[in-house]
Amino acid sequence: MPALLPSEKAFIPFVSVENMMRLVHHVGIETMLIGLTEAVEADFRRWDLFDKTPRVASHSLDGVIELMPTSDGAVYSFKYVNGHPKNMAQGLQTVTAFGLLAEVSTGYPVLLTEMTLLTALRTAATSAMAARHLAPAGARSLALIGNGAQAEFQALAMKAVLGIEEVRLYDIDPKATEKTMRNLANMGLRLVPCTSAQAAIEGADIITTCTADKQFATILTDNMVGAGVHINAIGGDCPGKTELHRDILLRADTFVEYPPQTRIEGEIQQMDPDYPVTELWQVVSGRAQGRRSEAQITLFDSVGFAIEDFSALRYVREKLVGTDYFQKLDIIADPDDPRDLFGMLQRAG
């Protein structure tokens, strides 16, 4: 991984929201989604190298605040992220985040960045990667159930990575669908607004659910889901929050990121502890089979995992090289004599 500021160890690159937006426009959003998909897939192929632990979560009646750490032995990363569904009523984001990379050899941070935008991008990239391995061949139609902050990213990732041509949209709030239609206009997609979830999934090859309510919800019922589809369930990501009726899970082959976390937070929290799942990294690395037949229902029960954030952070760090899309952040004390921290403070008076 390239060093950005080799002569200024006391400073680390910080990517603000403004600079992240500049970087996305510089790279191109679909190009960036493809690049993030490749980065996540590459790290899934070396899954065994990473430290893995369920995220450290602090739950409250209002939402959840989490830390998501991992390391591949050379580089360490963590993400701070919250999930507060009630924020929307106050005009606030449901999810906000920031993340950090550090060198394992010294413990020094080498990148600090916003991750509200980056999480949306990497979540969409991970969904597209999963669909590339699990969706029916030649999939061209996507149903998006839940048209909030994640919707456009999901649609564009499926277009860029899989060649999706049609997006069928439904949200309980028609204004959310109108927003998504407006934002995706002139993006090369055929957009179909729908008045029900049932209507949205008719004829869809891939169904993505991305709703935000922190409750046991049934966005899709068993009778709505026909044979042969692939489902990305990305909205359920904490205890007590689901989107699918459990009967769908009884019919589907379910793929997950990290079972100890997904059994607590994912759709499979509804199921018995011995409910069978396949870890997605095993499919990506060729150790397990993904889609086996045209009639098979595949389900990616995605709750988000720290390795995906690691992939996104290292991708951004690489893309920053040679740009000015970062600020030099002075957060590391750098005394001339490493033993004389107090002397550095004293001389600053």
Active site residues: 237
Q: Which residues contact 280 (CB under 8 A, 6 or more apart)?
A: 44, 130, 133, 255, 256, 257, 300
Q: Which residues contact 328 (CB under 8 A, 6 or more apart)?
A: 5, 8, 11, 12, 13, 14
Both tokens of residue 140? 């061209």
Q: How far is CA 172 from CA 177, 205, 208, 243, 290, in A?
A: 9, 22, 15, 14, 32
Both tokens of residue 110? 């080498």
Residue 66: name the closest of 83, 88, 87 by CA: 83
Strands 109-114, 11-15: pairing kind: parallel
CA distance 213 to 206: 22
- Specify the amino acid at residue 253: D
Both tokens of residue 107? 């413990």
Q: Are 250 and 225 in contact (CB under 8 A)?
A: no
CA distance 79 to 181: 31
